[in-house]
Copies of this chain bind each other. A is one copy, B any other.
Amino acid sequence: MHDAPAPVSDITYEDLAQLEQEFDDAELQTLREQHKIYAPLYKKRQEVVAKIPNFWALVLEQAPTEFENYVTPSDSQVFAEALKSIEVERFEINEPNGSPRSVVIRFRFDPNNEFFEDEVLEKRFWHRRALDGWSGIVSEPVKIHWKKGKDLTQGLTDAAVDLFAARKKQDAAAQNGSSNGSSKASKASKITKLPEYKAILNKIDTNTEASLSFFTWFGFISSHGYVTAEESAEASKKEAEKREKRAKGEKVEEEEEAEIDDDDDFFDESEICPNGEDVAEIIVNELWPQAIKYFTAAQEADDDDLSELSDAELDDDDDDDLDEPVDIRSLVRGKGKKEQNGNNGSSASPPPKKRRT
């Protein structure tokens, strides 16, 4: 690169792109190291908190305000009555071609809950690269087997699952059919003709309240549009070739990407949870690593009248030295309150965020 002094105009965008590439690699390496350090701790925490009823419901109650916007009182009721645990895993971290950015978020529920048949709702996010140069996470709609009259999304998640299945079928047919059907633009125009596409747009328009439910998040696909594993492999191969050229100081061709932008807008319209990526990010980067802090804050809010805990315990530190057992009764009684009061954690302020300076 430019280790020797060079005239100012010698710095090119190529040089900066090369540097950015190295920063990106460093981030991946950091994620791997971080995973090694935290994995045994998360396991240990899971064992401890499994013994505290409503632990995760209480964590969600004290969630950061950005998260609260995605949870309705009815959602909170489901969490309070049926949520058993949350688990976050970087499921590709040990795969040779996997990304440490790929992540699965698993919600475990009471198998006898009154809302749906599912004991586990598992949302998987793959970090993929699209042929237009975009990279980020994509997911697939998760089927929720709602019990009769209990669907908080009023059929939105079902519609997302149906549309996704129809698109897959269409893609498979296109692969066996005419070759020009595989371009992104023509793919998009074909999807808009699917009855499932029209159905979901109609459902979104007529169910504005249902679209506020947290459970629409299980139908989230991507902020960019779905990218298949095959497309991602092809894009990654192209990207690796570019990188090799760049490292050798060779010129790299820019591809034509104009038509893709329209696609993005088009995909957005059928997305039932447009902020799905933000929701995932808050769970993975805030709620999951800081769960005990949020739980302690929830305990504090619950125990306020009893004055059992001092103010100092809400401090951004870990000096909470009470050796009293966690007050299970005060946790469980939350259930009864929920039914009238819904999201009763929303007025309490979240615990101070951890500073990393």
Asked whether, in the complex, the Cβ of A315 is within 8 Å of the Cβ of B134, the reply is: yes
Q: Which of A148-156, A162-170, A192-200, A323-331 contacts B (4 or more CB under 8 A)?
A: A323-331
| A23, A45, A311 pick with most chain B CB within 10 angstroms | A23
| A47, A242, A322 pick with most chain B CB within 10 angstroms | A322
Number of copies: 2
Given the interface contacts A19-B44, A318-B24, A320-B16, does A133 sit within 8 Å of B52 by beta carbon?
Answer: no
List B contacts of A318 (CB < 8 A): 17, 20-21, 24
Contact of A357 among B2, B9, B44, B103 (CB under 8 A): B103
Asked whether, in the complex, the Cβ of A285 is within 8 Å of the Cβ of B22, the reply is: no
Distance of A137 Cα from B317 Cα, bound (Å) = 13
Distance of A297 Cα from B5 Cα, bound (Å) = 26
- Interface check A209, CB cutoff 8 A: no
| A51, A284, A324 pick with most chain B CB within 10 angstroms | A51
- Interface check A203, CB cutoff 8 A: no
Chain A residues within 8 Å of chain B by Cβ, number: 85
Distance of A242 Cα from B14 Cα, bound (Å) = 54
List B contacts of A137 (CB < 8 A): 355, 357
Given the interface contacts A137-B357, A315-B133, does A41 sit within 8 Å of B14 by beta carbon?
Answer: no
- Interface check A274, CB cutoff 8 A: no
Asked whether, in the complex, the Cβ of B322 is within 8 Å of the Cβ of A12, the reply is: yes
Task: Give A contacts to B, CB under 8 Å.
Answer: 1-3, 6, 8-17, 19-24, 26-27, 29-31, 33-34, 37-38, 41, 44-45, 47-48, 51-53, 101, 103, 125, 132-137, 239, 242, 251-254, 257-258, 261, 277, 280-281, 284-285, 289, 292-293, 295-296, 310-312, 315-326, 328, 354-357
Q: A10-B325, A137-B355, A285-B357 are in contact. List 4 more A-B contacts (CB 8 A).
A: A2-B47, A3-B47, A6-B51, A20-B320
